[in-house]
Amino acid sequence: MDSANPKSKTKAFVVILLTLCAVAVIVGIKEVKKPDFVVASEDKRDDADKPRADSNAPESGKSADPNDKNAPPRPDHKHLAFKQRSEERKMMVDYQIKAREVRDPNVLKAMLTVPRHAFVPPSQQRYAYGDHPLPIGEGQTISQPYIVAFMTEALQLRPGSKVLEIGTGSGYQAAVCAEIAREVYTIEIVEPLAKSAQKLLKELGYHNVFVRASDGFFGWPEEAPFDAIIGTAAAGQIPPPLLEQLKPGGRMILPCGDDWGDQELVVLTKDQKGNITKRSVMPVRFVPMTGQVNKPQAKQKK
């Protein structure tokens, strides 16, 4: 057998070497760790009713001011209060709310989430998850947890809902609604309560709640119409401006009756033609609504 040509051996060696180098480079490229990317889904107002992977995640780059209308659409839950007393909230929901047949999963989740103890004075915090209303100062109260849940469920809120609340109080009902709805506009006639509620809601991360110190009788016309309206103080009549500001297809719930006499919780619905249907759902006892609603000319329109 003839011996191989030295030049052929050299060429073969070079080809083998280049091949090995190419394989090494390819393997090296495959082993380079790719950077981790987090892709956030778009959250546009037109898609408000579509479910989100995390409906409570804030949008980056937005103001944290709860009165900034460009703020993130959901609370951020970063405050320590959300981690506190969670077992008490679970018992509250199980024995006070589920047991009374509130079934809306969004409402149950909101009641489990909102730290009620943060919305009452320090002297009342030990009783925060009891089955009763509590005083919050200025002659006002925070409603019984079951009533808050019942009224919220009656509104049939969706992720895209725009809510008007009459009677902010400490801000608890607004916070519960804000866990479900896109925006909550809440009015409090007692200015010190409005200021303290605004401050607290901001601290707790409720960026989708907007607070105004004003007379709730007139509503919030520049933000109307609303998908849902909730009143947390009793009046002898339903303020006409609120009926006007309720969107066709919308729902309203509020207590009606004498200041400290017979009261009933009523649900009103407006159809697409603007017709109002009213029904009573339960007897209640709320603090009275004050302001324009009690003036003689307002009562004459009853």
Any idea what the CATH number is for the domain that residue 97 is in? 3.40.50.150
If one counts the domains in the chain, the total is 1
Looking at every residue in the chain, the average pLDDT score rounds to 81
Query: CA triplet 233, 236, 242: central angle to 5 degrees?
Result: 65
126-183: per-residue pLDDT in tens? 999 999 999 999 999 999 999 999 999 999 999 999 999 999 999 999 999 999 999 9
Query: Does residue 65 belong to any structural domain of this protein?
Result: no
Query: Does residue 38 belong to any structural domain of this protein?
Result: no
Query: Does residue 84 belong to any structural domain of this protein?
Result: yes
Active site residue 143: yes
Query: Does residue 30 belong to any structural domain of this protein?
Result: no
56-114: per-residue pLDDT in tens? 333 333 444 445 455 446 899 999 999 999 999 999 999 999 999 999 999 999 999 99
Give the structural domain span for 238: 74-300
Cβ–Cβ under 8 Å, residues 232 and 224: no
Query: Does residue 12 belong to any structural domain of this protein?
Result: no
Of the candidates 63, 143, 196, 280, the residue annotated as catalytic is 143
Query: Does residue 57 belong to any structural domain of this protein?
Result: no
Closest CA to 159 of 171, 177, 186: 177
The beta-strand segments (E) located in the chain are: 134-137, 140-142, 162-166, 183-188, 209-213, 226-231, 246-257, 263-270, 276-283
Residues whose CB is less than 8 angstroms from the CB of residue 210 and which lie 6 or more positions away in sequence, other chains included: 66, 67, 69, 183, 184, 185, 186, 223
Query: Does residue 257 belong to any structural domain of this protein?
Result: yes
Query: Does residue 62 belong to any structural domain of this protein?
Result: no
